[in-house]
Amino acid sequence: MVDGMDAGSRRGSTDNDARDAATALVAWGNVWLTGHVGLDEAVDAVELLAGPQVLGGDPAEVSLRRGLGDLRVGGLTAFRLALPAPGDPLGLTGPPDFNRAALEAEAAVVLTLPTRAIGLVPAVDRRGSSYVGLRWEMHDASPAQPDVPSLAEADRGLMLTMREATEALLAVDDVAGVPPEIADALVDLRDPERDDHPLAPGYPQRAHRVGALAARLSLVVDLARRMDARGLTSDQVQRRDAALRSLDGAVRRALVAACNSAFDHAR
C-alpha cells in the first residue's frame, strides 16, 4: 500500500487507516527482523504511509525508530498482526484490556519477546494545528498463539468468498447500477501489473499475491459500504451487508495470514 503513494494522499483515502498502519508495521517489522532491510528503511516505509510515529505516551514516549531498536536489544523476535471486528477477535489472545482497545481501533500489533508479549494499538496523534501522526499505545499482551488461518487456508477462503460476495453484490446492486468507482476497483482485482501490495521485500511470493488481493478487496468493501441504499429494498440492503461482512472477514484473515507468514520459509 506504500508503493506509488505519498503519505498525504494515502492517509484519509479510506476508512482503514489503522488497519493499513498495523499491516505496514508488521510487514516491514518482520522483514527487518529477518535481515532483508535495515531499521531505518523499515521505519521510513511505515512512516511514509501513516506519518511520524511514536511508541507509548508521556512520560515514556519515544520515536518509533528508537523504540523498535530498544525492543530488538530486549529480544524482539516477531511482529504479529491482529485485525479484530465485533464478534471476531482475529489475532487476539488477551488480556481483556488489550482486546478491548484493539477491538475499538479495529487493529493491533503483537510483539513477541522471549518472556512476554507487548500489544500495540494505533491512535491518531495530533499536536498543534498541523502535526498529525500516529501513537502506538502499549499494552500487556498474552504470548499465547492466536487461532488464525495459515496462508494457504486464508488464500482459499479469500478466493471462495470473493466469488460469492461479488456475485451477491452485483445481483443486489443491479437495480441501482454499480457505481463507477466500485466497477473500477473490481476491474483492478484482475490487473496483475498493479504494484500496490501491502507487504515488504522478503515475504513468500504467495504472501505477496494474497496480500495484494486482500488490499484491493478491502477498498471494494470500503467503497461499497458508502453506497447510497436508495432504490434497494430492505431485503437487498440486508443481503448486501451480509456479503460485505463476509468479504471483510475473508480480507482480514488474508491480511493477517500474509503478514504473519514472514517466517514460513524457515519452517
Compute CA distances 99 → 67, 142, 181, 212, 255, whole Å: 22, 10, 34, 27, 19
Does residue 122 or residue 164 have the better pLDDT?
Answer: 122
Give pTM, 2 decimals: 0.84
CA distance 29 to 140: 19
Mean pLDDT of 82-92: 96
Work out the end-to-end distance of the chain between its first and last CA atoms, rounded to an integer number of angstroms.
Answer: 27
CA distance 148 to 168: 26
Take residue 50 and report the three cell numbers written for it: 501513516
Does residue 112 or residue 198 have the better pLDDT?
Answer: 112
DSSP SS3 for 197 = coil
Strands (E), 129-218: 131-141
Domain ranges of the chain: 7-141, 151-266
In the chain, how long is the greatest CA-to-CA distance?
59
Query: Per residue in 35-85, pLDDT tens?
Result: 999 999 999 999 998 889 999 866 689 999 999 999 999 999 999 999 999
Mean pLDDT of 183-206: 69
Does domain 7-141 bear CATH number 2.20.220? no
Mean pLDDT of 91-104: 97
Q: Check: CB of residue 267 under 8 Å from CB of residue 219.
A: no
Mean pLDDT of the chain: 84
- DSSP run (H or E) holding 157: helix 151-172
> Residue 148: what pLDDT?
95
Q: Edge-to-edge strand order for the sheet containing 78-82?
A: 62-63, 53-55, 131-141, 117-127, 108-112, 78-82
> Residue 2: what pLDDT?
36
> Residue 34: what pLDDT?
94
Label each residue of 73-107 as H, E or C: HCCCCEEEEECCECCECCCCCCCHHHHHHHHHHCC
CA distance 200 to 72: 19
CA distance 162 to 193: 20
CA distance 81 to 179: 32
CA angle 157, 162, 165 (to 5 degrees): 120
